[in-house]
Amino acid sequence: MGIYIHIPFCVSRCNYCDFFSTTALELQEQYVQTLCQEIETRLKTNTEAISTIYFGGGTPSVLKVEHIEKILQTIATNATLTQDIEITIEANPNDLTLEKLQAYNCLKINRISIGIQSFQDHHLQCLGRRHTAKEGIQAVKMAQQVGFENISIDLMYALPNQSVEQWQQEIQTALSLAVQHISTYCLTYEPNTLFYQQLQQHQLAEIDDETANAMFDLVCEQLQQNGYEHYEISNFALPNYHSRHNSNYWIFTHYMGFGAGAHSYDGSQRRWNVSNLQTYLQQKDFYEQEKLTPTDHYNEQIMLGLRTKNGINKEIVGETKINLYIREGKLKIVGNQVVATQKGMHILNRIIEDLML
């Protein structure tokens, strides 16, 4: 079973982000206390061993090391951890110092996911990121220097005014750093973000689908040529370096989410904590849950499975629904599985929507 810890704090909000987060950094101490109380209460009824812990956000790296230590100690005191547990923390480049990275090592955090997003300063400024390209590179090298052997970086493409040539430079810089895992995300303009407002006001121009698809194809080709396995639509890893925690979601392993906005799944129902900091801190009526129906289970298999290299079992979908996409070269049969081709990944959301009930 996996554990997800949501740390909602950010120093500033990025222009594209619609995740639940807050800049009320003065509430960190109270939040960690409430979070540890939730962990202690809910883990008392859990009997499964914990194989992954993932600190996500928000920006977990804004927390003091003592806070991270307290959270991990609370989990270890109230649950059984597997010997080979994967513990990941997401980090912003300019939060990281040699001292903080060494402290993470001492806490047995063995995987770090660094939110680079771009290696070009003008793109970082456009995104509203608070680090520079140089700081992004330095953060990766510092993590390597202190002994991290499982480093992931996030990159974004289809940014405003970004060219395919600029994206090629981003990929080459990423490859030069020799990290074990690379996640690449196509920029989407989500409501309630500054980018969405600017798009509506014609202050930004969205990259056309043809260019975005060319960027996707380029990163697939370049990373696979350099030994990275394309194991999920947005994720590439060297052999044996898949994100074990995120893979839990795609194969329906049980997980528990702690903190405001965090989700949990126990095989039959989902639970989600309210995305409101004050309500969560009051510890009253701070979550909802629902029992999944057979239709829910089916739709989730389609939605999550087709994003991965393993696809979905062909027995669960009618042949008439998938045959058209197979003829068009957007889906293929591999053994007993239906798998999206690279061409199919260009329109994967449309295919998923078509196959869902």
**Number of Cβ atoms within 10 Å of the Cβ of 285:** 8
**What is the average pLDDT score of the chain?**
94
Whole-number Å distance between alpha carbons of 81 and 75: 9
User: Which region among 10-24, 233-247, 318-332 has the lowest average model confidence (pLDDT)?
Assistant: 10-24
The reply to whether 268 falls in a domain is: no
Assess whether 83 and 205 both reside in one domain.
Answer: yes
Q: What are 157's strand-pairing partners?
A: 186
CATH number of the domain that 332 lies in? 1.10.10
In which element (H, E) is residue 289 found?
strand 287-291
Q: φ and ψ at 23, to 5 degrees?
A: -100, 10
Helices 209-225/164-176 angle, 10° precision: 20
264 lies in some domain: no
In a domain, 79, yes or no: yes
Q: What was the pLDDT predicted at 228?
A: 98
94 pLDDT tier (thresholds 50, 70, 90): very high
Looking at the structure of the chain, the number of domains it has is 2
Helix pair 294-305, 348-355: axis angle to 10 deg: 160
Asked if residue 209 is part of any domain, the answer here is: yes
The answer to whether residue 260 sits within a structural domain is no
Token pair for 310? 């393993």
- Tally the residues of the chain: 357
My answer on whether 317 and 211 are in the same domain is: no
Share of the chain above pLDDT 90, in %: 82
Provide the sign of the torsion angle of the four alpha carbons 112, 114, 115, 117, taken in this order: negative
Residue 242: exposure state from Cβ atoms within 10 A (0-12, 13-18, ≥19) = buried
Pair (221, 336) in one structural domain: no
CATH number at residue 44: 3.80.30.20
Residue where the block lists tokens 């990159």: 155
In the chain, DSSP finds a helix count (H) and a strand count (E) of 14, 15
Residues 240 and 350 in one domain: no
* Residue 196 pLDDT exceeds 90: no
Cα-Cα-Cα-Cα torsion 22, 27, 29, 30, nearest 10 degrees, comes to -110
Which strands sit side by side in the sheet containing 111-117, from one edge to the other? 229-232, 235-237, 181-186, 151-157, 111-117, 81-91, 50-57, 2-7, 255-258, 263-265, 269-273, 287-291
Q: What is the DSSP letter of 201?
A: T
**In angstroms, rounded to a whole number, what is the distance separating the alpha carbons of residues 132 and 217?**
27
- Torsion region of 227: left, alpha or beta (phi above 0 gives left; psi -120 to 50 gives alpha): left
Output the pLDDT for position 190. Answer: 87
Question: What distance in Å separates the CA atoms of residue 183 and residue 283, rounded to the nearest whole number?
Answer: 35
Structural domain that includes position 42: 2-249
State the DSSP code for 137.
H
Instruction: Say if residues 67 and 226 touch (Cβ distance below 8 Å).
Output: no
* pLDDT tens readout for residues 110-147: 999 999 999 999 999 999 999 999 999 999 999 999 99
Within this chain, do residues 76 and 179 fall inside the same structural domain, yes or no?
Answer: yes
Strands (E), the chain: 2-7, 50-57, 81-91, 111-117, 151-157, 181-186, 229-232, 235-237, 255-258, 263-265, 269-273, 287-291, 312-313, 331-334, 337-340
User: Within this chain, do residues 232 and 336 fall inside the same structural domain, yes or no?
Assistant: no
Whether 167 and 44 map to the same domain: the answer is yes
**Partners of 111 in the β-ladder:** 88
pLDDT in tens, 271-309: 999 999 999 999 888 999 999 999 999 999 999 999 999
Mark whether 319 and 175 lie in a shared domain: no
Task: Read off the pTM.
Answer: 0.95
Residues 228 and 342 in one domain: no
